[in-house]
Amino acid sequence: MIAGGGNIGKHLSENIRENYQVKVIESNEERADYLSEIIDNVNIINADSSNEDILLDDDEKPSLLMVVMKQWQRLDKIISIFTHAEQSGIDLSKIPTLIIDDEADHYSLDTKSNSKTNSKDKNSSEYYIVEQGDTLESISEKKFVPEDILRNLNGFKEDEEIVLKPGKEIMLEKNESTTHRRIKRLRQLLPRHTFLGYTATPMANFLISTVNNLSPKSGTVLAPGSLYTGAKYFFGTKENKSKHVKLVTSTLKYSIACNNFKAPLETH
């Protein structure tokens, strides 16, 4: 089931329809009619995807796919959906969720992680005021922040026994880059989730602090598919080079204009 029949939903449904029974829920009637005409073997439903009555047939187990651009305003909209669900009494801890982050080293990571000047900026950091009976463990469970991160943020040693006095401020998160914080907030809203990141350049992901909420627990190398065309395909052998690379030996002369000034440029 795909919520939204925009370009991403359209292309996704076209690519997976041969292997899956696909439903696309589109709220715009004109767009839904258009999709019905051009896409075969896909069930197009003109409805509001937030209406749970249309999400599930009697004999189906609920499953919802959301495709969203990794941009903080878009992520805010997804966060608002789950925040509204939680406020309406839905127990999100009972909803198993898979979050897939494509190009996981791009935008996702905290670009302010090494910033020292504003790490405790009151306007950007979030604090919790200790109440009677609070412990690091209870605050961790209440605010969905791992205990090792709480220790790291507040300068507590790993094995140090901490006694918290009522009224004390405990930092829950420091100043962070915007998209990174939105991803973290989404994960905090969905306690029963798995976060899976994909990237061809994972160096930054493995080098970040182990207490960072996006520090990977494991990594798996995936072999490229049969249709993959990378550097090896174009430059790996002499035969491939001869097919895809053309050596330009002639001298090209042309002019570049900058306002009213023209200068000849030669390239080899």
pLDDT tens profile 137-154: 899 888 878 888 888 888
For 65-74, what is the mean pLDDT? 91
Burial status of residue 14 (CB atoms within 10 A of its CB: 0-12, 13-18, 19 or more): middle
145 domain-assigned: yes
pLDDT in tens, 233-267: 888 788 887 887 777 776 655 544 444 444 444 44
218 domain-assigned: no
CATH of residue 148's domain is 3.10.350.10
14 domain-assigned: no
7 domain-assigned: no
Q: Which long-range contacts (CB under 8 A, 24 or more apart) does 12-18 make?
A: 12/65, 12/67, 13/39, 13/42, 14/39, 14/42, 17/41, 17/42
pLDDT in tens, 171-212: 888 888 889 989 988 998 998 999 999 998 999 999 988 878
Question: Do 54 and 29 touch, CB atoms closer than 8 A?
Answer: no
235 domain-assigned: yes
Q: How far is CA 32 from CA 24, 40, 42, 46, 136, in A?
A: 9, 13, 11, 6, 50
Q: In the predicted model, is pLDDT for residue 122 greater than 50?
A: no
Please state, in angstroms and rounded to a whole number, the distance separating the CA atoms of residues 169 and 187: 24
Give the residue from 189, 183, 3 showing the smallest Cα distance to 84.
189
Q: In the predicted model, is pLDDT for residue 157 greater than 80?
A: yes
261 domain-assigned: yes
3 domain-assigned: no
Please state, in angstroms and rounded to a whole number, the distance separating the CA atoms of residues 264 and 4: 52
Domain boundary among 150, 175, 200: 175
Q: 139 lies in which domain range?
A: 118-175
Using N-to-C axis directions, what is the helix angle for 178-189 and 72-87, rounded to 10°? Answer: 20
Phi/psi of residue 150, nearest 5 degrees: -60, -40
For 160-170, what is the mean pLDDT? 90
Q: How far is CA 166 from CA 91, 152, 155, in A?
A: 30, 20, 18
The model's confidence at residue 54, banded by pLDDT at 50, 70 and 90, is low
Phi/psi of residue 103, nearest 5 degrees: 55, 60
146 domain-assigned: yes
Please state, in angstroms and rounded to a whole number, the distance separating the CA atoms of residues 87 and 64: 20
Q: How many domains does the chain have?
A: 2
Q: What percent of the chain has pLDDT over 70?
A: 84
Q: In the predicted model, is pLDDT for residue 121 greater than 80?
A: no
Please state, in angstroms and rounded to a whole number, the distance separating the CA atoms of residues 121 and 82: 28
Please state, in angstroms and rounded to a whole number, the distance separating the CA atoms of residues 208 and 214: 8
Helices (H), the chain: 7-16, 29-38, 72-87, 136-143, 147-154, 178-189, 203-207, 231-235, 238-244
Please state, in angstroms and rounded to a whole number, the distance separating the CA atoms of residues 108 and 86: 25
Please state, in angstroms and rounded to a whole number, the distance separating the CA atoms of residues 98 and 93: 13
User: What pTM value is reported for the model?
Assistant: 0.59
Q: What percent of the chain has pLDDT over 90?
A: 28
β-bridge partners, 194:
98
More confident residue, 50 or 177: 177
